[in-house]
Chain A
Amino acid sequence: EVHLLESGGGLVQPGESLRLSCAASGFTFSSYVMSWVRQAPGKGLEWVSGISGSGASTYYADSVKGRFTISRDNSKNTLYLQMNSLRAEDTAVYYCANVMTGSRAFDYWGQGTLVTVAS
């Protein structure tokens, strides 16, 4: 059974940093593109960042480019999101999700971790 478990969320002040983790199990982690998707309180879904199975290719939404860095450790079956220079508008539940091979659809989602940026 596929399982994705995010951690690392919390309350931070504007300008601070936070690193999110996503522990994966139940599938061959290194074979799958992975992504982070966020949802601000009461708002819709927003794709944040994606990474290829090997980690060689990374992609970012314009809203986070230059501030967030996605990475993965395939030996630990773990996905990361390093978030720097956080802003109030980054406040959201952050989900990790794997991408179904060949479809560019998010097949499985974690339960999410809440990041709150406030002074």
Chain B
Amino acid sequence: SYELTQPPSVSVSPGQTASITCSGDKLGDKYACWYQQKPGQSPVLVIYQDSKRPSGIPERFSASNSGNTATLTISGTQAMDEADYYCQAWDSSTYVFGTGTRVTVL
């Protein structure tokens, strides 16, 4: 079965840039999307179709997808961005989530 691997944690200082990777076999050939989940809340879609932002998602969230790796970048990270982030792709009629990354804003 298809797997997506993320680093367990990423730390970033306020105002700096956080990058979260998501690795999977030929992931660049699929659409990747990203979700933000804060404690006790439902996930929120922040990126779809590799790099598009849904309405209401701040411009500081950007992403790319190529080769075997998709990357979510948070520029000018704010305290409110502290959360768990999950990548997701679709493969063989199933939706696959990444292992998740906890972003800590120090």
What residues make up the interface of A, taking CB atoms closer than 8 Å to B?
35, 37, 44-47, 50, 59, 61-62, 95, 100, 103-107, 109-112
Which residues of chain B from 21 to 40 have any CB-CB distance to chain A below 8 Å in the complex? Answer: 31, 33, 35, 37
User: Which residues of B have CB within 8 Å of A35?
Assistant: 95
Q: Say whether B88 contacts A106, CB under 8 Å.
A: yes
Given contacts A103-B31, A104-B31, A105-B49, contact A47 B43 (CB under 8 A): no
Pick the residue among A59, A105, A109, A112 that contacts B88 (CB under 8 A): A105
What residues make up the interface of B, taking CB atoms closer than 8 Å to A?
1, 31, 33, 35, 37, 42-45, 48-49, 54, 86, 88-90, 93-100
Most A-side CB within 10 Å, residue of B31, B35, B43, B95: B95
Pick the residue among B1, B48, B97 that contacts A44 (CB under 8 A): B97
Most B-side CB within 10 Å, residue of A50, A62, A104, A111: A104
In the assembled complex, the CB of A34 is this many whole angstroms from the nearest CB of chain B, namely 12
